[in-house]
């Protein structure tokens, strides 16, 4: 029964066959070692599958199959498995998945995707969505999920974010911008609170965005970026001039807040989240003072959305069913920024750049589009890398900022300076699939250093959208 279909070798193996169709098989459910076998190998060969770069839980392999009916199974960590989201039948080999390959390459099977030139790199997950209804959540379940998440955040405080031991770096406002630039790079941090010894208070933060604005301002004046120019201003002097510069960028006279956005250890997690979202910052300092007038403040920690997300996941770890929204695929809920489909004109556009674009263009886009990162894609819009605000600190390495012009350095060259920086487990690009559940996306975003996930097609890595920590909390709180 199982050997009746036309067999072919894995990746052709030099065998000449009439009309072989490359098929991409996907196992999206994780594992350490995953193999594929089926009627096309006479059930005698286990074909190893490889994890997709950036998505270690998604395994794939391409096999060249002849048109007709085929059956297959997956061997995952020593256990036979089948994919319940693909067509399956009961047979002599237990429950097996099935696929039918038509002779016309423009007929796509409902479970797998031919790697045909006319529709190369079709997203297998996309096929699932077209062939099966996307699960939807009722308004009642959505409201229940949001209410329970908000209740948890309201009942727990920032004190729970404090680690047993940690190091928090603060910068004096009187040190040179160049020195601060090097400190952020050497410590591998995107921002630091600012301490004014004269006032005896924390007065603000210095972030990667400050350095982007400084480098753009120097570049706009047509000068090389020399150490001397970065030494002419202290942090305090830069902050004084930033308000005027920010108004020019915005094109209006809106006054920027001069006070530090911070939280106390007994503020609720919900208040912490809302401060981060409304201020559009990556983190807020947790500051405590035993005095009523706020004198002698103590910097306890830097609160991030990632740390709050960890608290949510820990709390609902054994009761995830109480948040029905967690099991929804991210493609079925209003979350993140997506590439518009053909004919769609509404919604926020997803900014992307080619690797040969200039660094100056990337920095301008980060500032003007008010985004924290830009996917870098090839001519097919397949993801190559991501350039983020925090990558600007890599220019401090070997004093690269002193030898470049922003419009002459390409993004590709700039990314080479930060190959080892801002990577998670050796991966700079953190990705997910449109079929991934919200719970799975939240788990990845809760990993240290991860602030966003790029949504890609399985196989082709064509960019479909991007989901940030801020997107998740705006959705959970309905703000």
Instruction: Evaluate whether residue 14 is within a structural domain.
Output: no
Please check whether residues 341 and 457 belong to one and the same domain. Answer: yes
Using CA of residue 274, residue 275, residue 281, residue 284, what is the dihedral sign? negative
Q: Residue 178: enclosing H or E segment and its boundaries? A: helix 177-187
Please check whether residues 252 and 349 belong to one and the same domain. Answer: no
Please check whether residues 272 and 355 belong to one and the same domain. Answer: no
Instruction: Evaluate whether residue 273 is within a structural domain.
Output: yes
- C-beta separation of 227 from 402 below 8 A: yes
- Interatomic CA distance for residues 102 and 95, integer angstroms: 23
Q: Which of 308, 333, 351 is the last residue of a domain?
A: 308
Q: Point out the least confidently predicted range of 59-63, 131-135, 237-241, 408-412.
A: 131-135
Domain housing 196: 156-308
Please check whether residues 164 and 271 belong to one and the same domain. Answer: yes
- For position 231, what pLDDT does the model report? 66
Instruction: Evaluate whether residue 34 is within a structural domain.
Output: yes
- Which structure tokens are listed for 205? 């933060």
Domain CATH code at residue 230: 3.10.580.10
pLDDT score of 359 more than 80: yes
Please check whether residues 36 and 93 belong to one and the same domain. Answer: yes
- Interatomic CA distance for residues 239 and 172, integer angstroms: 13
pLDDT score of 474 more than 90: yes
Please check whether residues 219 and 241 belong to one and the same domain. Answer: yes
Domain CATH code at residue 71: 2.60.40.10
Split into its structural domains, the chain has a count of 3
Q: pLDDT of 281-338, one tens digit each?
A: 888 999 998 887 777 899 999 999 999 999 999 999 888 788 889 988 998 899 998 8
Average pLDDT, the chain: 79
Q: Which residue has the higher pLDDT, 134 or 237?
A: 237
Please check whether residues 347 and 304 belong to one and the same domain. Answer: no
Please check whether residues 325 and 470 belong to one and the same domain. Answer: yes
* Mean pLDDT in residue range 243-270: 68
User: In degrees to the nearest 10, what's the CA dihedral of 310, 316, 322, 327?
Assistant: 50
- For position 122, what pLDDT does the model report? 32
Please check whether residues 298 and 327 belong to one and the same domain. Answer: no
Instruction: Evaluate whether residue 218 is within a structural domain.
Output: yes
- DSSP letters spanning 365-392: HHHHTT-SEEEEE-TT-BEEEEEEGGGG
Q: What pTM value is reported for the model?
A: 0.69
- For position 232, what pLDDT does the model report? 67
Please check whether residues 183 and 268 belong to one and the same domain. Answer: yes
Please check whether residues 267 and 330 belong to one and the same domain. Answer: no
């Amino acid at each position: 029964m199982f050997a009746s279909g036309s067999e072919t070798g894995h990746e052709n193996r030099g065998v000449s066959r009439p009309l072989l169709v490359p098929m991409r098989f996907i196992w999206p459910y994780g594992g350490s070692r995953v193999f594929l076998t089926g009627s096309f190998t006479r059930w005698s060969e286990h074909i190893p599958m490889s994890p997709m770069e950036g998505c270690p839980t998604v395994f794939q392999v391409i096999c060249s199959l002849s048109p007709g009916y085929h059956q297959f199974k997956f061997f995952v960590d020593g256990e036979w498995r089948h994919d319940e989201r693909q067509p399956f039948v009961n047979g002599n080999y237990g429950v097996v998945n099935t696929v039918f390959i038509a002779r016309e390459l423009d007929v796509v099977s409902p479970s797998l995707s031919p790697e045909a030139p006319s529709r190369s790199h079709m997203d297998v997950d996309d096929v699932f969505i077209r062939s099966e209804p996307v699960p939807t959540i009722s308004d009642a379940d959505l409201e229940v999920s949001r209410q329970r998440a908000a209740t948890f955040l309201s009942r727990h405080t920032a004190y729970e974010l404090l680690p047993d031991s940690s190091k928090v770096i603060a910068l004096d406002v009187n040190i040179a911008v160049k020195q601060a630039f090097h400190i952020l790079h050497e410590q591998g941090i995107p921002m630091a609170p600012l301490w004014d010894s004269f006032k005896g208070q924390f007065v603000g933060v210095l972030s990667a965005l400050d350095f982007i604005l400084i480098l753009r301002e120097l570049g706009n004046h047509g000068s090389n970026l020399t150490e001397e120019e970065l030494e002419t201003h202290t942090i305090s002097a830069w902050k004084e001039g930033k308000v005027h510069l920010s108004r020019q960028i915005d094109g209006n006279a809106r006054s920027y807040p001069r006070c530090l956005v911070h939280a106390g250890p007994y503020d609720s997690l919900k208040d912490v989240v809302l401060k981060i979202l409304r201020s559009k910052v990556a983190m807020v300092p947790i500051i405590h003072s035993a005095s009523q007038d706020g004198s002698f403040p103590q910097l306890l920690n830097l609160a991030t959305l990632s740390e709050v997300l960890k608290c949510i996941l820990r709390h609902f770890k054994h009761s995830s069913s109480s948040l029905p929204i967690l099991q929804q695929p991210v493609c079925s809920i209003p979350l993140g920024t997506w590439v518009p489909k053909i004919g769609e004109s509404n919604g926020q556009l997803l900014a992307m750049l080619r690797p040969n674009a200039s660094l100056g263009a990337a920095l301008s886009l980060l500032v003007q589009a008010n985004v924290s990162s830009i996917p870098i894609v090839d001519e097919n819009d397949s993801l190559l890398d991501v350039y983020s605000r925090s990558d600007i600190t890599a220019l401090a390495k070997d004093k690269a900022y002193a030898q470049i012009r922003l419009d002459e350095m390409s993004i590709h060259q700039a990314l080479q300076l930060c190959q080892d920086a801002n990577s998670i487990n050796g991966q700079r690009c953190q990705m997910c699939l449109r079929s991934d559940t919200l719970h799975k996306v939240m788990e990845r975003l809760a990993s240290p250093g991860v602030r966003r996930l790029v949504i890609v097609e399985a196989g082709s890595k064509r960019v479909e959208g991007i989901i940030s920590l801020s997107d998740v909390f705006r959705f959970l709180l309905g703000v």
